[in-house]
Amino acid sequence: MIKVEQWDGGEALFRRERVQTDPEITAAVARILDDVRTRGDAALHEYTKRFDGVDVDKFQVAPEALEAAYKSLDAGFRETLRRAAENIEQFHARQVRRDYVLADRPGILLGLRHIPMERVGICVPKSPEAFPSTILMNAIPARLAGVRDILLVTPPEVSAAALGAAYIAAPGVRVYTIGGAQAVAALAYGTESVPAVDKIVGPGGVFVAEAKRQVFGQVGIDLIAGPSEILVLADASADACHVAADMLSQAEHDTHAAAVLVTDCRALAGQVAAELERQLPLLPRADIARKSLESNGKLYVADSLERAVEAANRIAPEHLELCVAEPLSLLPLIRNAGSVFLGYNAPEALGDYFAGPNHTLPTSGTARFSGPLSVDDFVKKSSFIYYTRDALNGVADRIADFAEREGLRAHARSVLVRKEESV
């Protein structure tokens, strides 16, 4: 199914399958956005009935339904949700930044404020359980940032698990049963039922991704996520069964997902290839995983572990597992990865659900310049400057000279007139 390839250090290492938005999808999303912006709730009702087959009376889920849903869950899963939420909160609480003021020069105050956004919207795609993990990973950092109003949109027929996750992630969160591009439109422009937000975060299919792209500027967005991906960097000590299982954990997402092994051990690569074939039939989503591996799966052999690290940095994967004897020694060499999983006992699923670091990660090589969703994504920064008259007069000539050199006479005069008045 996947051939073992030797990597020679060339540029043609790995070409991700990039899902290009169909022009028809782009046009369809533009129509939906414009329709919701123009007709509000009436358009939302029509699209919900057309795309979801549901005639929704009220989009917002009653607040008391969230607590009821949480209490309806079995005790074991309630405890799992609670412990996962605690881990996520503990990790993200360290990201909360403090304002600062510089007052070490006479007559001058400089500072930076961190101001939480007023209202944010979280998109949660439809699944058997509507991804309660996604709700925890997005709502908890927003709450820690100080966002006052958190809205969550997800297609109708929301599971009790999803509502329960919303209940414990952010008390007071508002849940709306709207999905697709129409949900993004409602969050961006506002309707009679849904208030407009400052930023939209969270995953979705091609319609949601395209809608986020088109409304960016009207609102902020977290990222436009591509297909999920994993790169396992392994040496001869790795267990082929575990490596294959971890690769399949991404391949089962969809046919565009990417699963890659880079190793310095050809024997291991062959064993992983055999394990993939053995384990595939065991999966309910075997057809999806097989197509994913056939399209985007790679088994690379590098000349050395150092070259394997070089390959990983070039690929800049969303998830990077270091299944090697000494993972901590390799960590300082990793420059480009969304999240790094160290050693034999840190499968990628650990980060998806429970450990604490965020699972909303950069894809398609964007880990070269971006990182995981964090508290910072829900905060805006604002600097401030205060000078006394004497302090300004002391630098007025320098500022005026700077402005004149850039050909901006009015800038120079705005400073000099104040100096002249004080003479």
Q: Is the pLDDT of residue 12 over 90?
A: no
Mean local confidence (pLDDT), 114-124: 98
Mean local confidence (pLDDT), 108-118: 98
Give me the pLDDT at residue 339, please: 98
Report which of residues 11 and 71 the model is more confident about: 71
Q: Is the pLDDT of residue 258 over 60?
A: yes
Mean local confidence (pLDDT), 145-167: 96
Task: Find, among 200, 194, 244, the residue nearest to 222 by Cα.
Answer: 200
Identify the residue whose tokens are 């414990």.
Answer: 168
Q: Is 229 helix (H, G, I), strand (E, B) or coil?
A: strand
Give me the pLDDT at residue 141, please: 98
Give me the pLDDT at residue 226, please: 84
Give me the pLDDT at residue 7, please: 81
Q: Is the pLDDT of residue 182 over 90?
A: yes
Model pLDDT for residues 221-251, shown as the tens digit of each residue? 998 888 899 999 999 999 999 999 999 999 9
390 CB-side CA count, 13 A? 3
Give me the pLDDT at residue 397, please: 97
Q: Is the pLDDT of residue 192 over 70?
A: yes
Q: Where are the alpha helices (DSSP H) in 226-320?
A: 240-251, 266-279, 286-296, 305-315
Q: Is the pLDDT of residue 129 over 70?
A: no
Q: 81 and 168 in contact (C-beta within 8 Å)?
A: yes
Give me the pLDDT at residue 20, please: 56
**Active-site residue, from 253, 256, 319, 359:** 319
Give me the pLDDT at residue 225, please: 82
Q: Is the pLDDT of residue 9 over 90?
A: no
**From start to end of 41-170, where are the E strands?**
100-102, 108-116, 119-123, 149-153
Give me the pLDDT at residue 21, please: 67
Which domains are present in the chain?
23-221 (3.40.50.1980), 226-369 (3.40.50.1980), 388-421 (no CATH)
Mean local confidence (pLDDT), 122-146: 90
Q: 362 and 317 in contact (C-beta within 8 Å)?
A: no
Mean local confidence (pLDDT), 16-44: 88
Give me the pLDDT at residue 135, please: 97
Give me the pLDDT at residue 321, please: 98
Give me the pLDDT at residue 415, please: 96
Report long-range pairs for 322-328 (Cβ below 8 Å, ≥24 apart). Answer: 322/233, 323/232, 323/233, 323/234, 323/235, 323/237, 323/238, 323/239, 323/242, 323/243, 323/246, 324/233, 324/234, 324/235, 324/237, 324/238, 325/235, 325/237
Give me the pLDDT at residue 329, please: 96
Give me the pLDDT at residue 128, please: 61
Give me the pLDDT at residue 75, please: 97
Residues 259, 239: Cα–Cα separation, whole Å: 16
Structure tokens at 211: 């809608």
Q: Is the pLDDT of residue 70 over 80?
A: yes
Q: Is the pLDDT of residue 332 over 60?
A: yes
Percent of the chain whose pLDDT exceeds 90: 88
Model pLDDT for residues 276-326, shown as the tens digit of each residue? 999 999 999 999 999 999 999 999 999 999 999 999 999 999 999 999 999
Mean predicted lDDT score pLDDT of the chain: 94
Q: Is 318 an active-site residue?
A: yes
pLDDT band at 220 (very low <50, low <70, confident <90, very high): very high
Give me the pLDDT at residue 130, please: 60
12-21, 171-180, 261-270: lowest mean pLDDT where? Answer: 12-21
Q: Is the pLDDT of residue 413 over 80?
A: yes
pLDDT band at 422 (very low <50, low <70, confident <90, very high): low
Q: Is 92 an active-site residue?
A: no
Q: Is the pLDDT of residue 15 over 70?
A: no
**Active-site residue, from 210, 275, 310, 318:** 318
Q: Is the pLDDT of residue 1 over 90?
A: no
pTM, two decimals, is 0.93
